Amino acid sequence: MQTPSNGYARKLAPNLVGFALAVILTAIPFALVYFHALARTPALIVIAGLAVVQILVHLRYFLHLDMAPASRSKLFSLVFAAALVFLMVGGTVWIMFDLSMRMGFG
């Protein structure tokens, strides 16, 4: 018979790993900016790269998305929703920029 603590520990361990990775991936950019460790452009590149890694950590450890057949449909739904948001935001920015140019502000 399995004790309750073993079952909880098995379910809690991946969440703790994800939390630790998220904290580390958040602390690194804060330290880069606070201590002025890099010039502006390399710092922005490192911060953007760590942001992408953090998105992947959140998808894997907190949303439990991977390439298993059971979670592929969730992954496709997430990609479709992200594409829709990208199109809506991109279209809005495009329209606002075009209007700004037509009004003579740009």
How would DSSP label each residue in 21-39? Answer: HHHHHHHHHHHHHHTT-S-
User: Alpha-carbon distance 29 to 7, whole Å?
Assistant: 35
**CB within 8 A of 62, min separation 6: which ones?**
15, 18
User: Whole-model pTM?
Assistant: 0.71
pLDDT computed for residue 67 by the predictor:
78
pLDDT computed for residue 19 by the predictor:
96
Q: Which residue has the higher pLDDT, 6 or 101?
A: 101
Q: With 80 as the cut, is the pLDDT of residue 102 above it?
A: yes
pLDDT computed for residue 6 by the predictor:
73
Dihedral angle, C-alpha 90, 50, 75, 66, nearest 10 °: 170
* Closest C-alpha among 49, 51, 62 to residue 16: 62
pLDDT computed for residue 103 by the predictor:
92
User: Alpha-carbon distance 52 to 66, whole Å?
Assistant: 16
Please report, for the chain, the start and end positions of each structural domain, with discontinuous segments joined by +.
1-64, 69-106
pLDDT in tens, 37-94: 999 999 999 999 999 999 999 989 998 888 788 788 888 888 999 999 999 999 999 9
pLDDT computed for residue 4 by the predictor:
58
